[in-house]
Amino acid sequence: MPDPGESRRVRTARAIKAEALRLGFEACGIARAERLEEEEQRLETWLLEGRHASMSYMERHFEKRVDPTLLVPGARSVVSVLRSYYQPVSVSEDEALGRVSRYAWGDDYHRVLKRDLYALYHWIDEHHGPIAGRAFVDSAPVMDKVWAARSGLGWIGKHTNLISRQLGSWFFIGELIIDLPLAYDEPVRDYCGSCTRCIDACPTDAIYRPYVVDSNRCIAYWTIEHRGDTIPEDLQADFGSWIFGCDICQEVCPWNKFRRATTEPGFLPRPGVTDTPLARWAELDLKAYRKRSKGSALRRARFEGLQRNVRVARGNRTEQEPN
């Protein structure tokens, strides 16, 4: 006989996915909340090898990072969502301009995604609850890419970003970890195949082997997470004009031909973020920096860090900068 409980879980899962799409997410998948036994060993090895550089926060709460039931007692399901941030705006190849990673062109994604994740949470609670749980957007010990992959939304590519056959990789990931049992999705296979474009294109060889990134050589780490006054001289020349983050591995990925333009107005480029010369970035004082970075992920680098990055990028210029 059919299991009425399973039928209910299937219907509820379908309804949650439909509501997620209505709220503006591009995709939604669901995985069973359980310990990440396969990923646990890989994470431990990566940390022991020091591949996380100075990001000591990745060492903290290790058990919670690999077991969602420690974050949310009684957790049964991890609901993952994707939200495109790709802006249909051409990127200038003018090396005199300071380059900022696409994800920081608009409003801070933490706020935008959490707003809609909370809306989804309250909808589930109202229509299929009561439930208990939490919403997560890259701000807690949650392995978001792993959970999205487990829920069938894509696979983790050789550059360690999640790739979707329908969306490419220009998207943010968010999760709801809740105590509601649901029907669970199956992971999809890895479609990277023999392609090594991301590895070949990385100017600092940060992708030192497929599916593993060494933060000690990653431009995004040095221009965002690093809090020191200097950047290793042997890496600086490879930074080009990047002053916040790096998109090279995503720019060369063939799967991003399937990218989808964002429908979120808050992710569209703020004035000056894509076309400001390095010389102008260098002229920003603290007040101007705060005004420009208010409500933006640019705040992550802090004023001193951004100015350090601009100095490195200007040092890489071989031609006279425009005023």
- The span from the first CA to the last CA of the chain, in angstroms, equals 76
Q: Are 118 and 186 in contact (CB under 8 A)?
A: no
Q: Where in the sequence numbering do the catalytic residues fall?
A: 138
CA 162 – CA 191 distance, rounded (Å): 11
Q: Are 11 and 137 in contact (CB under 8 A)?
A: no
Coil, strand or helix: which one is 133? Answer: strand
Q: Are 307 and 117 in contact (CB under 8 A)?
A: no
Q: Are 273 and 104 in contact (CB under 8 A)?
A: yes
Can you read off the two tokens belonging to residue 14?
A: 């379908």
CA 62 – CA 66 distance, rounded (Å): 7
